[in-house]
Amino acid sequence: MELLQRTSSFLTGMSAFVSQSRSLSFEGMKGGFLLNPIFLRFFTGSLHLILLVLVFISWLYKKFRSNEDEGPKNNIRPTSLLYYKPTLFSCLGLSFFNLILCLLNLFYWYRNGWSDEKILTLLELGIKTIAWFGLYLFLKIHLSSSRETKYPLVLRLWWGLFFLVSCYCLVIDILYYKKNQILSSLFWASDIVSLVMGLIFSYIGFLVKKKDEDTILQEPLLNGGASNGRESNRPSKGDETVTPYANAGVFSLFTFSWMGPLISLGYNKTLDLEDVPQLATPDTAGGAFPILNNKLESYREESNRVTTFMLAKGLFYTVWREIAVSAVYVLVYTVASYVGPSLIDTFVQYLNGQRDFKNEGYVLVSAFFVAKLFECLAQRHWFFKVQQAGYRARAALVAKIYNKGLTLSCQSKQGQTSGEIINFMSVDADRIGDFGWYMHDPWMVILEVVLALVILYRDLGLASIAGLVATVLVMLANVPLGNLQEKYQDELMKSKDKRMKATSEVLRNMRILKLQAWELRFLSKIMDLRKVETGWLRKYLYTSAFTTFVFWGAPTFVSVVTFGAAMLMGIPLESGKILSALATFRILQEPIYNLPDTISMIVQTKVSLDRIASFLSLDDLPPDVVEKLPIGNSDTAVEVINGTFSWDVSSPTLKDINFRVSRGMRVAICGTVGSGKSSLLSCILGEMPKVSGVIRLSGTKAYVAQSPWIQSGKIEENILFGKGMDRQQYDRVLEACALKKDLEILSFGDQTVIGERGINLSGGQKQRIQIARALYQDADIYLFDDPFSAVDAHTGTHLFNECILGLLDSKTVIYVTHQVEFLPAADLILVMKDGKIKQAGKYNDILKSGSDFMELVGAHEEALSALDSIDIGATASGEGRSPANSKSGLQKQESRNDRKDKVDNSEERKGQLVQEEEREKGNVGISVYWKYIRTAYGGLLAPVALLAQILFQILQIGSNYWMAWATPVSKDVPPHVRGSTLILVYVALSIGSSFCIFGRALVVATIGYKTANTLFNKMHLSIFRAPMSFFDSTPSGRILNRASTDQSTVDLNTASIIGLFAFAIIQLLGIIAVMSQIAWQVFIIFIPVIAICIWFQRYYIASARELARLCGTCKAPVIQHFSETLSGSSTIRSFDQEPRFRDMSLKLIDGYSRPKFHTASAMEWLCIRLDMLSLVTFAFSLIFLVSIPEGTIDPSVAGLAVTYGLNLNMLQAWVVWNLCFMENRIISVERILQYTSIPNEPPLVIESNRPHNHWPTQGEVNIQDLQVRYAPHMPFVLRGLTCTFFGGKKTGIVGRTGSGKSTLIQTLFRIVEPTVGQICIDGINILSIGLHDLRSRLSIIPQDPTMFEGTVRTNLDPLEECTDEQIWEALDKCQLGDEVRKKAGKLDSAVSENGENWSVGQRQLVCLGRVLLKKSKVLVLDEATASVDTATDNLIQQTLKNHFTDSTVITIAHRITSVLASDMVLLLDNGLVKEYDSPEKLLEDKSSLFAKLVAEYSIRSSSSYENLSNI
């Protein structure tokens, strides 16, 4: 009955709109059936029925055609139809309008009975609704990518007819009204709207001209991303156009319509980065960075230090306009949000019958509506502006950090590891960018409290003072909580830095860890660091949970205190005033609730600013170390006078350095390991701190480092290194560096993408690419740091002859070398010892004058004595006159292999090693959410959190309902209950709701903590158990991005974001429940509004999801590029390439900012539309409340509905916003889950098949038909190898660079699994046992000597298995004992990141020490002595001979002397065994390739130095 009464009241209220329908007879109107209203309704209805049939037939036709033409539709194009979007939404709007009229007509009919005309009118409106909606769907589905520029002819004709009929109907309405002075509002509304829409459609259909060519040419600039792919042959893409935001009009800016084309494109196809338009100049890194940089430079004129305040001030000036504009929006938003609460009391009194003037209800509704409109618009633009400011500040800051990393001095670098520096960029800069959200909160809170007090004072008088005191108390409670959070956040960041530093180092050295079977030991080290981090994380999360409890309880606490004070003061409590106060508290809740977040964010931002400011204050390389001389003024190329240089302030590294190099001279630098050769080159480059003296340099320089620095990217890009392509010069350089053959072998030639740090190239190839890079630059001065040690003897000779004596004949060349045979060609030789130049002069002069040089040459001659037994002359004569013949012989052999190789390769599936980063596409699967929720305790805690929130919602609504019901509407009405009962019940309900929130916060924190830990452990175990091929093809930036940024999101945000979404839905359902109690008719509007909201959300999310994924994939290249720059900064500086690298960095930063900026814009595009829709719902409910007769419903309860309704638009948008935010953030979980399912290496231990403890006893290695490739899409590197390495024998492996030597070793250790064939050690197939059982029984000294940050002890014995005595013994054997004893810490002496404070030769000796401690039966030397001088090499060989007499020693060496002492020699070429026999037998056969190599080496190395120097 109550329902019927309510409906009756509703319909009475609506009668003004629908009443007084035309009578059927239309008395007095002549003119026959054309003026008959039944005919009129019938005619328009039929017309729309025809439209519906036409649409259906067209749909069938298109469907049939599309099935016939089905094919790949890769290029989905936006439509070419003009005014497509307005047409689309006009159809939808007209359908919606007719639906509302239909429903109103239905209610009126239900109220007043029915007639034929009413039935006909209802049918007509129903048909119109369906017809226009059908047309909308047809346009949306079939014309969204149409190439036509005009709509179908039938449709345009129908629009014209519709316009004419609408005119006719309106004329009839006017005639009827003149005659009878009465006409239903429904008919006026229907016919006027139809006329206006008909006019619009006719204009679009007939009067709009086809676009001319100019318009089409300009379109990419106007439409941004939407123009992408308009013509398949046009290159125009989103990334070549500037964002439409830059040129948008006022309306477009206000409604975010400029985002429409990109969102439309994303709805139709999967967005890629090239679809996203470029940013406007002020938002780019190139636009923002100079402002920040100039400000910081102007502030730090007095001192070099950058303080936190300076940095904050500089950032403020970078984005001050956005801050100022957003402040205005915040002001408008705050004032507008308090209009509603201030009017509620008046509204309740109005419903109670107190009318001050006519139409007061509609004025109140208008006031509510306009205030809400301003509030929505201001909030959306406030959010957009602060995000824009954040992205701009972040871009400027990242660019500043990058520039600083490029100019850091070496001492500064030692204090900051690359992992820590990368964290400044990936975490701290992001946090400062996010601060924009919280920037205005401090002053906004004060303004909101003042406005709240004004409203409370008006309603509750002096009781509002109690409210103020309570609010201040709540805010003061923030102080200790804020301090705690700051402390925990700071410690969390420090521990994260340590973990990231360790992770970065481990990823860089994963190959050596796997070779030594140490990876699990290092994983446990990272897990220990994570344990410390999670200790702080737990404290941080639970402090946040307590904060949540305090502040959800805050509004309740404030309201209890205020109402209690009012009772005590005897101030009467009326429902209108209480509802007004409750609405005020609810608005106040948000700033108070956000206050802990704001304080936490201010704290975090300050911590980040402190960290970055201290980094920016570090010392740069002084620019004036090297004095630049103008070219042509003198003959001097390089000059050092009285130079003293030091890496370490305490003791100089180089002392009394004096030398002068004239233009065109060749200078060789030699000396023992650690004598200061590389340091001498560093001081010439200006890389080494100068204590005293003068360095002068004239001309451009090029530098080849001892450890190759190769960028990720194509080989061609590495060689060109920013210079334009000169094909002739390029080919000459490739020839000189012997790279042509390597490029022919590689599937993609010089377009092959090199993995991180040149991972898919051999050591020799990396070194030769480095040399090629230097040669191509065509500099004046060349500095080579022992580049020939990494290549084989044949290639070494070729490089020396073709590069130093050939292409660089007229250049100034300074080269460090350990190969004595390259010394006679020098015009000046500098002999280094203990950081001093001991001897300087020509070869023959210094040979006679001192002992130091004699030691080096003597050691070399001793090594050559192994060749004495060979008749060099006979070998040479057998070959011909000169090494040139042996070279040609090799080349013929190689060209034959080449042809075979090409045939083989043509059958291969070809593909790059480094693939694009994988990116999920389409919806984030529900499985990702399900996996996340179930990770902690099988998902059992999630229902507990939901239950706590539901209880909270029920108790909160209950407490407000109680206050509204129990207090009188006005002073005249007696209260329902006593004042004490009123407050006690309210307090009880409020305390209950607060405890529900506390429980919920604890549960969410527990879920977040547990899940973050579990996912971290799973991901890291998966990464550490991944095969080496994963690390070869995955740049470490991708892994580090997941371990830092994504893990941070999962640690701190994900659980609370998923929780907030669920809780927002519960709150929304609560509000709907309250509103439906008063006016269930609100559902008539609410349901279609919700449906449109969901449609908008689905339309938007396709683009938003892909933009969020692009943010994930575009961040890694920024970090990757920065990481590479840090490791290669000395090379970059030596080539004077800093400007190019800065530009590249700016471009990558913009590549990340573009999707970020458009993600934020898309979010606001959606929210502003949702706000408008929820505003319609709110307005409808208010109109309904003022339209119903007085006394129909309880004014207090109606007021409660309005109080909640004020929050409806915010909450409705919040639900969708949370859904989108959650989808964007869950991508971090998705990315981590990707890395929890990396295919594992084979098992580390196979319990059922473990070799006995002493295996291998003989050490015999038997290889059968071994074929290996690095990945299924790569060509074979080893192509059918069969041989046996005999137990206890020494086998040398030789072959030119890239012949497969290192691959064979990797296969022996199962770093690469054999594709075909097998390897047996002592009869056990290595594939049948666990990896750790295999690798821990073999030893290797790798090609790239590796040391880890830590101490000497942890570097030699990371597993802590040896005593100090054993370690000292190993150090003495490898000639490092004295060096370590000199250091203060002895075995605990610090080793910096990558072992940077040790020379490359010393690092190689540490690797030898590891092998001596391990004492394996099978030992592999992979070019182990490449980085040491000949004398040290001889010592190493002697040490190995003494301590590995019974072991199988497999040696890959470029020095022929290293393998001459072997029992057997294996010569590889192009992955095939060319020769395998004892060195003696191979040398007897003068035509053998090995004999040719030895002959060439002998001729090069023996007494014919004059011959060599005259080449």
The pLDDT of residue 145: 61
Spatial distance between the Cα atoms of 741 and 36, rounded to a whole number of angstroms:
93
Q: Is 882 helix (H, G, I), strand (E, B) or coil?
A: coil
99, amino acid identity: L
Is the CB of residue 143 less than 8 Å from the CB of residue 153? Answer: no
Spatial distance between the Cα atoms of 247 and 263, rounded to a whole number of angstroms:
18
Closest to 1117 (Cα-Cα) out of 613, 425, 284: 425
Structural tokens at position 517: 């079977």
Closest to 1118 (Cα-Cα) out of 397, 225, 297: 397
129 phi, psi to nearest 5 deg: -55, -50
Spatial distance between the Cα atoms of 1259 and 1240, rounded to a whole number of angstroms:
28
1207 phi, psi to nearest 5 deg: -90, -10
Spatial distance between the Cα atoms of 1481 and 1484, rounded to a whole number of angstroms:
5
78-87, 195-204, 220-229, 388-397, range with greatest mean pLDDT = 388-397
pLDDT digits (tens, 9 = 90+) for 437-491: 888 988 888 888 788 888 878 878 888 788 878 877 877 777 788 778 878 888 8
The size of the chain, in residues, is 1511
The pLDDT of residue 385: 92
- State in Å, rounded, how far the first CA of the chain is from the last one: 114
Task: Return the minimum-mean-pLDDT range out of 479-488, 849-858, 985-994.
Answer: 849-858
pLDDT digits (tens, 9 = 90+) for 919-941: 555 556 678 888 888 888 888 88
Confidence of residue 791 (pLDDT cuts 50, 70, 90): confident
Per-residue pLDDT at 326 exceeds 90: yes
C-alpha dist (Å) from residue 1159 to 82, 385, 1111: 27, 13, 9
Spatial distance between the Cα atoms of 510 and 516, rounded to a whole number of angstroms:
10
Is the CB of residue 138 less than 8 Å from the CB of residue 53? Answer: no
Distance of alpha carbon 81 from its chain centroid, rounded?
37
Task: Return the minimum-mean-pLDDT range out of 287-291, 378-382, 756-760, 1475-1479.
Answer: 756-760
Q: Is 841 helix (H, G, I), strand (E, B) or coil?
A: strand
pLDDT digits (tens, 9 = 90+) for 264-297: 888 888 888 888 898 888 888 888 999 988 888 8
Torsion of CA 754, 757, 759, 763, to 10 degrees: 110
Q: Is 261 helix (H, G, I), strand (E, B) or coil?
A: helix
The pLDDT of residue 10: 36
Closest to 1072 (Cα-Cα) out of 1194, 1174, 1195, 964: 1174
**Mean pLDDT, residues 334-347:** 82
Per-residue pLDDT at 328 exceeds 90: yes
The pLDDT of residue 1413: 82
The pLDDT of residue 53: 77
Spatial distance between the Cα atoms of 1117 and 1007, rounded to a whole number of angstroms:
32
pLDDT digits (tens, 9 = 90+) for 416-444: 777 778 888 888 888 888 888 888 988 88
Select the more confidently predicted residue: 629 or 1194. Answer: 629
Angle at 1417 between CA 1416 and CA 1421, to 5 degrees: 70
DSSP-assigned states of every residue in 619-670: PBPPTTSEEEEPTTS-SEEEEEEEEEE-SBTTB-SEEEEEEEEETT-EEEEE
pLDDT digits (tens, 9 = 90+) for 1456-1472: 777 777 888 888 888 88
Is the CB of residue 1004 less than 8 Å from the CB of residue 1055? Answer: yes
Which run of H or E residues covers position 745? helix 740-745
Rg for the chain (alpha carbons), in Å?
Answer: 40
The pLDDT of residue 390: 92
Maximum Cα–Cα distance across the chain = 136
Confidence of residue 1234 (pLDDT cuts 50, 70, 90): confident
**Mean pLDDT, residues 1088-1109:** 82
Confidence of residue 214 (pLDDT cuts 50, 70, 90): very low
Pairing of β 1390-1391 and β 1350-1351: antiparallel
Distance of alpha carbon 597 from its chain centroid, rounded?
24
Per-residue pLDDT at 175 exceeds 80: no
Spatial distance between the Cα atoms of 436 and 1344, rounded to a whole number of angstroms:
46
Spatial distance between the Cα atoms of 1451 and 811, rounded to a whole number of angstroms:
37
Is the CB of residue 708 less than 8 Å from the CB of residue 767? Answer: yes
The pLDDT of residue 1502: 54
The pLDDT of residue 82: 66
Closest to 957 (Cα-Cα) out of 1001, 910, 918, 992: 992
pLDDT digits (tens, 9 = 90+) for 26-72: 344 444 455 555 667 677 777 777 777 777 777 776 666 555 444 44
661 phi, psi to nearest 5 deg: -120, 125
Structural tokens at position 616: 């920016």
Please give the mean pLDDT across all residues of the chain: 78
The pLDDT of residue 183: 65
Per-residue pLDDT at 16 exceeds 50: no
Task: Return the minimum-mean-pLDDT range out of 747-751, 1016-1020, 1176-1180, 1184-1188.
Answer: 1184-1188
C-alpha dist (Å) from residue 335 to 347, 361, 440: 19, 22, 14
The residue behind tokens 């821990």 is 1336
The pLDDT of residue 901: 36
Per-residue pLDDT at 549 exceeds 90: no
The pLDDT of residue 874: 37
Spatial distance between the Cα atoms of 371 and 967, rounded to a whole number of angstroms:
28
**Mean pLDDT, residues 765-790:** 87
Spatial distance between the Cα atoms of 1381 and 1399, rounded to a whole number of angstroms:
17
C-alpha dist (Å) from residue 1203 to 369, 430, 987, 1442: 14, 38, 20, 91
Is the CB of residue 788 less than 8 Å from the CB of residue 738? Answer: no
Alpha-helical (H) ranges within 408-416 are: 410-415
Is the CB of residue 247 less than 8 Å from the CB of residue 222? Answer: yes
The residue behind tokens 């008919």 is 187
Task: Return the minimum-mean-pLDDT range out of 75-84, 765-774, 796-805, 1478-1487.
Answer: 75-84
Task: Return the minimum-mean-pLDDT range out of 161-170, 346-355, 998-1007, 1236-1245.
Answer: 346-355
Spatial distance between the Cα atoms of 926 and 986, rounded to a whole number of angstroms:
41
The pLDDT of residue 535: 92
With a pLDDT cut of 70, the percent of the chain lying above it is: 81
pLDDT digits (tens, 9 = 90+) for 1359-1374: 777 788 788 888 887 7
DSSP character at residue 576: H
DSSP-assigned states of every residue in 270-322: ---GGGSPBPPGGGSHHHHHHHHHHHHHHHTTS-S---HHHHHHHHHHHSHHH
Residues 6+ apart with CB under 8 A from 1335: 514, 515, 516, 517, 1309, 1310
112-126, 508-522, 1079-1093, 1395-1409, range with greatest mean pLDDT = 508-522
Select the more confidently predicted residue: 744 or 782. Answer: 782
1272, amino acid identity: P
Closest to 650 (Cα-Cα) out of 1402, 1394, 1397: 1397
Spatial distance between the Cα atoms of 1472 and 1475, rounded to a whole number of angstroms:
9
Select the more confidently predicted residue: 1336 or 592. Answer: 1336
Spatial distance between the Cα atoms of 559 and 470, rounded to a whole number of angstroms:
9
The pLDDT of residue 30: 45
Positive or negative torsion for Cα 1382, 1383, 1388, 1390 = negative
Per-residue pLDDT at 331 exceeds 90: yes
765, amino acid identity: Q
The total of other beta-carbon atoms located within 10 Å of residue 392's CB is 29
Task: Return the minimum-mean-pLDDT range out of 860-864, 1044-1048, 1165-1169.
Answer: 860-864
With a pLDDT cut of 90, the percent of the chain lying above it is: 7
Alpha-helical (H) ranges within 907-976 are: 926-935, 941-966
**Mean pLDDT, residues 1125-1129:** 86
634 phi, psi to nearest 5 deg: -145, 175
Is the CB of residue 339 less than 8 Å from the CB of residue 580? Answer: no
Per-residue pLDDT at 528 exceeds 60: yes
The pLDDT of residue 35: 59
Structural tokens at position 284: 């780019």
Residues 6+ apart with CB under 8 A from 1205: 1071, 1075, 1178, 1181, 1182
Spatial distance between the Cα atoms of 648 and 50, rounded to a whole number of angstroms:
90
Is the CB of residue 257 less than 8 Å from the CB of residue 251? Answer: yes
Closest to 887 (Cα-Cα) out of 1492, 1506, 1505, 1500: 1492
The pLDDT of residue 217: 32
Is the CB of residue 386 less than 8 Å from the CB of residue 436? Answer: yes
Spatial distance between the Cα atoms of 718 and 701, rounded to a whole number of angstroms:
17
Is the CB of residue 939 less than 8 Å from the CB of residue 929? Answer: no
Is the CB of residue 1439 less than 8 Å from the CB of residue 1407? Answer: no
Spatial distance between the Cα atoms of 851 and 970, rounded to a whole number of angstroms:
112
